Structure formats: C-alpha cells, structure tokens
Structure 1
Amino acid sequence: MLLFLINIAGAAALLIWAVRLVRTGMERAFSVQLRLWLRRSSKNRGLAAGAGLVVSMLLQSSTAVAMLVSNFAANGAVAVPVGLAIILGADVGSALVAQVLLVRQTWLIPLLLVLGTALFLRGQQRRVRQTGRILIGLALIFVSLDMLRAATAPVMESEAALRMLSYLGADLFAAFVIGAIFAWMVHSSVAAVLLFVTLVAQGALPTEAAMAMVLGANLGGAMIAYVLTLAAEPEARRIVVANLVLRGGGAAAVVLGLRFVEVDLTWLGETAATQTINLHLVFNAVLCALALPFVEVIARLAGRFVVTPVADETAVVSALDPSALDTPSRALANASREMMRMGERVETMLIAGQRLFDTWSDVSAEAIRTNDAAVRKTHQEIKLYLAELNRHELDEETVTGAMELSLLAANLEAASDVLARNLVELARRMDLEGLNFSAEGRQEICDFHDRVLANVQLALSVMMAGQPDDARELVAQKEKVRGVEQKLQRKHLRRLHEGLSESIETSNIHQETLRVLKQVNTSFAMVGYPILAETGDLLSSRLSPAEN
C-alpha cells in the first residue's frame, strides 16, 4: 500500500510540475505577444472569447489568462464585460487542452524529449530555448500519465482499495469538494482533470465520482484566481467573482443533477474516461455559450458583490525600524520592504497616468502628484536610514547591499518623478489643446505602455523573490524596449511624412510619451543588475549569453 501511494504521489507531482513547465516556458517566450493579443481582442465579446480560448490552450491555464485579464481591467485597458468574455473562452480552452493531452501517443514522448532538449541546450535565442522547455514539459506530461496508469493497475486487484474508492461514487458531494480542493492546492485545473480522468480510465474511480471531481476542479480552478485577486482593483475582482459564480455555481448545479436526476450519459462517449472528459468540455462550452450574450448584465450584478476598499493611509507604518540598525541583515530587509512600497506606488502612477490620455481627470492627476510626494519622502527616509546603518561596523557584503539599495531607491524615485512631471503634463497639454492621437499612434502608445507595465510588474517580482531567471529576463527586456521605442519613433516619423494631421498636431507629445515610458522601464530594469552581477551573468558591458 505504501509503495502504491508513493507511485501515485510521484506521478501526480510530475504531472503538476510538467504542466507548470509548459506554462512558464510559454510565458517567458511569448508573454508580450499574448498580452497584446488579449488586449487587442476587446473589440467584441465573440473575438474576446476566441482569443481567451487560444491563449488558454497555449498557456495550458485559464488561471493565467484570468490574471492577465484582471491586470488589464485594473488599468482600464479592458472593460469588465469583455474581460469576462475572455475568461469564459479561456475556460473552454482549458478543457480542450485536457482533451488533447489525454491522446495517448507513446512515440511522441522520445521525439518531444529529443527536440526539446536540443532546442533548450543548443538554442542561441531565448525564445528558442523556451520552446525547448515547452516540448520537454509536454513530453513529461505524457510520461506522468503513463506512470499514473502503471501505478493504478494494482488497484484493480485490491478489494479494499476498490471499496474505499467506491464510496466516492455514492457521495458525489464529497467527491466534488475533494476535486475542488485538489485543483486549488495544485493551482492547476488542467493537472487535476488529467489526474481524475486517468484514474477513472484505469477503473480506480467510479464514473460518477470522477465526473463530480472534474466538476469540482472547475470550482477549484475559479477559486485560484479569486484568491490571487483579493487585493486587486474592483474592476479586476468583478471579472473574477463573476467567473467564480458562473463556473463554480454551474458545476455545483450539474453535480446536483447527477445526484438526483437519472440521466443517460452514454451520448458523451462509450467509456467512463471519455464520458468524464467530454462532460468537462461540454460543461464549459455550454456555460460560455449561455453566458456570453449576457456578459454586460452579469458584470453589473457582480459589481454588487465587490466592495471598493477604502484606503487608510494612517494604517501604513514605516518598516525603517531604528532598533534594527544594530542587526544589519534586518536593517537591509527593512529598507527592501520600503522599496517595495515605492515600486508599488510608481506602478499605480504608471497605470493612472495612461488613463489621463483618454479622459483627463484633475483628481487622478493630483493623486499621481501625491504618490510622487510620498515616493520622494520614502526615498529620503531610506537614504538617511542606510546612511545611519553605514556608521556601524559592517562587512563588505553589507556595505555593497546598502549601496545597491540606495541606488535602486534613486532609480525608483526617478521613475516617479518623470511620471508625475512629464507624463501628467503631456496628458494635460492634450486636454487643454483638445488634441487626439491618430488611431495608429494611440494603439502604439497603448501597446508600449502595456509592455513597460509588464516589465514593472516583473521588476517588483524580482525585488520580492530575487530569481536569477526573472532578473535576466528583466535586463534583457531593457534592450528590447529600447529597440521597440526606436521602431515606434520611426513609424511616427513616417506618418508625419504622409501628412496625417493628427500625427502632426500631437507629434511632440507622442514622441515625449514614448521617451517617458522608456525611462520608466530603464529605471525598473536596474533592479535586475545586482542579482545578475552576483550570479556572474553580466559581462562588463552587456548581458552574458549564459543559458536560462
């Protein structure tokens, strides 16, 4: 029995990790393109649902799509009804992924492993290496499913195990809850569904129990995004809450139907495994089809369950504890916490500043200036705190750490200053002069802003976790953003040569806005340099070509 549990646990762990491997590879290779695609699909809800479906299949995660969409909604790039349509499509895409991954083709495993390893080890470009990572992850998914099949084979010979598992067939509500909890714990409804369907295919689970657990995985998958966005903006939470009620409530209703209504499920397929996986797909497809025409109404109703939090600035207490100065490691950690607050304030300013170009608001502009004043104040406090720390006897590592924190704080303050002074002033000029960007120019600025915002959020993640891979990507993005900015400047000049009146009227504002955003990106990219210098990933003049 112990050996059986170890084999099951090992196969499940490999499955969870392999699904994550594919998702992270896709995010690292194509995250910018996927973000732009999702945001540009907001023209109508049908296109939005289709984009959500495709992106979810590529990422193998509807939760990842939900987090992207919630970020878009928080900064006003996507309306709540459109965001809900994207997530409904993503749920269908997640179900389709499970269908594809359950196709058993043993010859694919060695082929994917050979190709994936060759691309990852020999590829010179980051995207090529990450494609190799994706192929290796797909191969390991198939391997883990084969391990599950082999591990569960002895169950058919154990009467005690069969009696224990048959209990779930009689208590569908318990199976539903177990499925939801498991999907939430592993943070992947795809991995949970693959596990449950494989178990029922081997006869280790009763058909009704497997169906209830798969439906529970839908609730658990929706819960993941709900928990991760508890502190998000109300617009973002409205989308996630609406999806949770639709997907979780719909799944619970179907379980009730399975429990109390006699239904012939043979139309879903001939085998228990086929019926279970097809039920998962049909449930999400029907839910999307029924809810899509009413996303506006559903979004309004969801707003009633989302309370806008009231900011309490008086509750914020500085982490710069003077008593910690006698313990340098604690003092540096305290300074790092305050720097995180600086970074989060600048992120808020960046989001709010972009909205001013569409609709000028004196209140929003003043809020940006207030945040800038708070950032400058925090920067001054960090400098004085680290200066006081340097008066103590410190080792070389601590002195270096204090200097790096001081420089990073200065970079964050510089980003705040350029947003509060330059970006706000550019938006104000647009409003006072009654100007509008050309349609193409506005699209370019929105796309560039989204790219910079993604890098700012990556920088905050690097500040918290200090992962070398993320730091490498952050620094690499600095060069990419510079190249994109130059490309957009050239496109703008071509529009000027063509005599487009809107481009001529807003020429200086357009070019200066791009420069401001590039400066903000550069300031946050500096977060990655100390980490890469420590790991030896930096050459004297550029990023080294070391493998990821």
Structure 2
Amino acid sequence: MTGSVVLIHLAGAVALMLYATRLVKTGVERAYGDVLRHKLRATLQNPIMAVLAGTGLAIALQSSTAVTLLVGSFAGAGIVSGLAGQLAVRGAEIGSALVAKLLTYDLTLLVPLCLIIGTFLFMATESRDWRQKGRILVGVGLLILSLEMIGQASEPLRESPLMPMIINYFSGDPITAYLLAALITWLFQSSIASVLLMATMAGRGLITPELGVVLVLGVNLGSSIIAPMLTRNSEPGVRIVPVGNLLMRGMGSIVMLVLVMTFKPQIGFLGATASDQIVNAHILFNVIILIAGLPLAGLVYRASEKIVALGAKQAAEPVQVTELSALSETALSSPPQALANATREVVRVCETVEIMLKRIIELYENADEDKINALAALDDRVDERHAAIKIYLAKLIRNPLTEDQALRCQELIGACVKLEQVGDIIVRNMLVHVRKKMALNLEFTPEGWQEITAFHSAVLANARLTFNVLVSRDTETARQLVQEKDRLRDMEREASNSHFLRLRDGTLKSIETSSIHLDTLRDLKQINSLLTSIVYPVLEERGLLRGSRLRAS
C-alpha cells in the first residue's frame, strides 16, 4: 500500500471520528439541552457543585469547549458569576479527559449494537426525542468504529522507514511537537479527538510515550485557544470565562512543558501501555490544573477581567458605520432584483426577531431597565424595517409582474406582518411579565421554569427553521414545522396541566407566578403559530396544505 493511500485511509478515519463526535454532541444538545442548561444554572452557585456539573456536562456533550461557551454565555448574561464559571470549566476539562479514557477500552461489541439500535430508533419513529437518542447511539457506534479504522489505517506506517526519522526529530524538538499538537487540536476543534488519535497511534508503536506526553500538553494548549477564538467578537462578559481558561490551562501546559523538558521524568507509573500513559497523562494534567485552579480561581478571574477590559478599551471607539438598506429604488424596474433586495431586508428583520426571542427568556431570569429598554429598541427597528419593506413592495407591485413574482411579493409582505406581530408580543406582552416578575421579586418553581425554558427552546429552534425556509423554500422543512406546531400545542397543554397540579397541591411559588407562567406559555405558543404560518405559502404552492393542516402524503 502506497504512502498516499495510507494517508487517505487515515484522513478518512479521522474525519469519521470528528463527524461521530459532532453527531453525539448535537444529539445530546437537542434531546437534553434544556434540562442540562437548567441543571447547570441551578448548581453553579456552589463551587464543588460547579466543578461536578462541568464534569458531567462535558461527558454528556463530549466537548469541554461547548461547556466553556455555554458557561461563558451564562456569565455574560449575569446568570452565574464568572468565578463559578471558571470552576465549572475546570470540571469540564476533567470530564473531557474521562471521555477519552473511556473510549480507549475495547468497546468493539458496542459498534453493531449502537448502530442497529440507533438506526432503528431514528427511522422507526417521528418522535423528536427518540430520534435524537438514536442519533446519539449511532454517533457512539461510529466513534468507536473510527478508532478501529485509525488503528488499521496507521498499521502500515510501522513499516515505513520514514517514521523512525520523524519520531526521532520530534523527540529531539519537543517545542515543535508541542506547537504541532496545539495546531492539530485547533483544527479538529476537539481535544478528545486529538488525544484519541495520539493514543491510538501510540498503541501501534508510532509514538513513544515520552513524545506523547509532550503532544498531550500541546493538545491542552490548542483546546484552550478554541473558545477565546470563537468568542472574540462577543460581549466582554461572555469572554471572561474562555480567557480565564486560556490563562489557566494554556499557561499551565507551558509550565508543564518546561518542567518535562528540564527534569525528563519517568512516566511508567502512568500505565502499562503507551496509549494508557498518554490518556492518563492527559487526565493527570487536568487534575493538576483543577487542584491549582481552586486557590487561584479568584486571581485568574481578576486577570481575565483586566485582559478583556483592555481589549474592550482598545475597541471602545469603533468606526461609525451607517446601516445600509438593501431596498434600492433603482432596482424596482427589475422585479427579480427588487425581490432579491426585499428578501435580503426581510432576512435582516428575521435576525432582529431572533435576537429578541433569544433575549426575552434571559430577562425572565436577570432583568434590569437597561436590558428591557434595549429589547424594546429592537422592536422599534423591526417596525421601521417592516414599514420600509411594505412601501418598497407596494411600489414594485405597480410594475408588470409574473404570477410567481406577484405571489412572492405577497409572501414577503405576509412574512413581514407576522414578524412585526411577533415583536409586538415579545414587547407588549412578555416584557410586561418580566417587569411584573421583577417588581414583585417572584420566582418560578424549578419544574415550572424548566417547562417554560423547554417550550421557549422549541419555539426558538422552529423560528430558525422558519427563517431558513423563507430563503430556501424547502418543502420538507416546511412540513416539519407544521408537524412541530401540533407537537408544541400538546406540549403547552401538558405544561399547563402540570402547573395546575402544582396549584392544587398548594405550591406557593406556583400560586404567586401562576398568571405569568400561563401567559408566557400562551404567548410563546402564539409566536410559534405566527412563525409557522410564514411557511404556509411554500406548502400551498405544492398542494400540500389544506387550511392549516398538512395533506396526507
């Protein structure tokens, strides 16, 4: 087998591992994301529980970076303290390392079982929850299979005369090896994938344990860079936790590299095999960073604040940019171009409405007048753009249009009207609930809040799909949205029934928040109905809609 063929097989196996990791991560987020976020918010106030919550969440999501971004967003919204967020991320690194350890065991029997059961669950039901569970099982099966493929693909490399030379070079130049591992991890966007790749190759005798330890330190540097890079344009509060992780974990890996290069410690105690030694070195490093991070958490947090504040100060005077409109008057003589311009402008309205819908639930937990006024200002922007789009399309209709062009005009006008109505519900109804909750200092029960956040997450996910259909006009997604409307109606009924049961039991918080709870569910249900109706023209055009119901296919 030629070297190029070996590399193609190895690259394919690595690609499958990255895809499988993402499959598991997205499946867990869709099936259990709301519950995990709710539990995380509730436990981050206690330092020990913050570490344990971060560990558990990283195991579930198969990604410490995902936990870092999630906790960073909580800290930026004021839901948790930045200090608690730092501790949760420390726990997440431990959880990520434990996942890598688990996947080094012989789990080959799980491959066919996971693929069979996962595929059956995904294809045999239309239930969203069961389909996501199937997705998770298929992802786990493919992940284990990819590790076997990496081992088989790398086997011919043992016979290559170049491998000893490459290994000797990197063993003699640990700094280059360290930086290369950091680069690979940043490209993979996953420390788990990088550690598993190195452990598998070490198990085949392609990497020495001593070099593997250096590579593991590089993996931790690369992993700590990912979140700060992804949040570099976010608000300062969101960036503090990722920057703190970079300071602690990134700087810790550099210190450890210097110590390893200076003292050249024996690593036989880390395990009986080379692959065990590499994975255990990864776990040990993150345990050391956790132990060191507990007393240093306050110092690291203050340093992170100063670094973020310094970057914010340098960007405090941005170049003033005039907001441009896509509604060019000169394009009105060309209906296709004018419709494209109007579509672009409607998409901008969609983006604003999505921001409003995302922020309103955050205000239920942590509201102040500045945030409330900022959200109300977004509704003013929606109203202005809505008026401009209607006037623009009214002018376009005066020109000769084909039937399809005239229908598209009506579709865009209808979408704008519904988007404005969604903005009005958020500002005139839901913001009123926020003010009442804030003024009376009310709190939902844990069960009630979980019901509201789960319902909100489903509506937000449907909103994003709706905005995609507005551009893509994809029939299958439009059908899915109409089916989701029925599911959310049932979901709202179940949540209301659960609330009434708590009222019957005399739960004080349920009694105090009853009207806010029920009105919020009703408002979210109405928002979902308005957004779903935006996709009706796509289904009507193909004869797939009868009234507001799907025709049998």
Choose from 442, 452, 456 the match for 2:456: 452
1:180 maps to which residue?
Answer: 182
What's the CA shift for 1:514?
Answer: 3.5
What's the CA shift for 1:459?
Answer: 3.1
Amino acid at match of 1:423: M
| C-alpha contact 1:80 1:299 (8 A) present in aligned 2 | yes
| C-alpha contact 1:456 1:524 (8 A) present in aligned 2 | no
What's the CA shift for 1:104?
Answer: 2.2
Distance 1:396 1:184, change over 3 A: farther
The aligned runs of 1:160-309 (5 Å cut-off) are: 160-307=162-309, 308=312
Normalised by the length of structure 1, the TM-score is 0.86
What's the CA shift for 1:254?
Answer: 1.9
Return 471-480 or 96-105, whichever deviates more. 471-480
3-state SS in 2 of match to 1:205: coil
| 1:374 paired to 2:353 | no
Choose from 429, 432, 435 the match for 2:440: 435
For 1:536 and 1:256, the matched residues in 2 are separated by 69
For 1:127 and 1:446, the matched residues in 2 are separated by 16
| C-alpha contact 1:101 1:142 (8 A) present in aligned 2 | yes
In the alignment, structure 1 segments of 5+ residues that lack a partner are: none
Distance 1:462 1:228, change over 3 A: farther
For 2:510 and 2:202, the matched residues in 1 are separated by 62
Choose from 48, 57, 63 the match for 2:50: 48
Choose from 386, 390, 401 the match for 2:393: 386
- Tell me the number of residue pairs that the alignment of Structure 1 and Structure 2 aligns: 543
1:133 maps to which residue?
Answer: 135
Choose from 414, 429, 443 the match for 1:407: 414
Cα deviation 1:420-460 (Å, max 9, x = unaligned): 222333344455xx5232552x8724751464256426634
Amino acid at match of 2:374: A
3-state SS in 2 of match to 1:306: helix
What's the CA shift for 1:229?
Answer: 1.9
Cα deviation 1:119-139 (Å, max 9, x = unaligned): 222234232233222222222
Choose from 312, 323, 327 the match for 1:320: 327
Return 421-430 or 248-257, whichever deviates more. 421-430
For 1:186 and 1:513, the matched residues in 2 are separated by 41
For 2:47 and 2:529, the matched residues in 1 are separated by 36
For 2:104 and 2:551, the matched residues in 1 are separated by 40
| C-alpha contact 1:340 1:460 (8 A) present in aligned 2 | no
| 1:516 paired to 2:516 | no
**Identical-pair percentage:** 36
What's the CA shift for 1:337?
Answer: 3.9
Choose from 417, 430, 439 the match for 2:424: 417
The aligned runs of 1:88-127 (5 Å cut-off) are: 88-127=90-129
For 2:552 and 2:218, the matched residues in 1 are separated by 45
For 1:73 and 1:461, the matched residues in 2 are separated by 28
Cα deviation 1:8-44 (Å, max 9, x = unaligned): 1122122222222222222233222222232232231
| C-alpha contact 1:168 1:206 (8 A) present in aligned 2 | no
Distance 1:404 1:35, change over 3 A: farther
Amino acid at match of 1:236: V
For 1:377 and 1:540, the matched residues in 2 are separated by 31
Cα deviation 1:501-528 (Å, max 9, x = unaligned): 6655554344333333433444445566
3-state SS in 1 of match to 2:440: coil
Distance 1:207 1:41, change over 3 A: same
3-state SS in 1 of match to 2:123: helix
What's the CA shift for 1:169?
Answer: 1.8
For 1:358 and 1:511, the matched residues in 2 are separated by 17
Q: CA RMSD in A?
A: 3.5
The aligned runs of 1:533-548 (5 Å cut-off) are: 541-542=548-549
Choose from 334, 345, 351 the match for 1:338: 345
Distance 1:236 1:363, change over 3 A: closer
| C-alpha contact 2:38 2:450 (8 A) present in aligned 1 | no
| C-alpha contact 1:321 1:331 (8 A) present in aligned 2 | yes
1:85 maps to which residue?
Answer: 87
For 1:283 and 1:254, the matched residues in 2 are separated by 8
For 2:297 and 2:550, the matched residues in 1 are separated by 46
For 1:536 and 1:208, the matched residues in 2 are separated by 66
Distance 1:22 1:366, change over 3 A: closer
Cα deviation 1:433-488 (Å, max 9, x = unaligned): x5232552x87247514642564266347636968887777666544544444344
For 1:75 and 1:532, the matched residues in 2 are separated by 39
Amino acid at match of 2:392: Y
Amino acid at match of 2:286: N
Cα deviation 1:279-317 (Å, max 9, x = unaligned): 111112222233245544433331212245658875322
For 1:534 and 1:90, the matched residues in 2 are separated by 49
| C-alpha contact 2:448 2:510 (8 A) present in aligned 1 | no
Return 331-340 or 95-104, whichever deviates more. 331-340
Normalised by the length of structure 2, the TM-score is 0.85
Return 374-383 or 410-419, whichever deviates more. 410-419
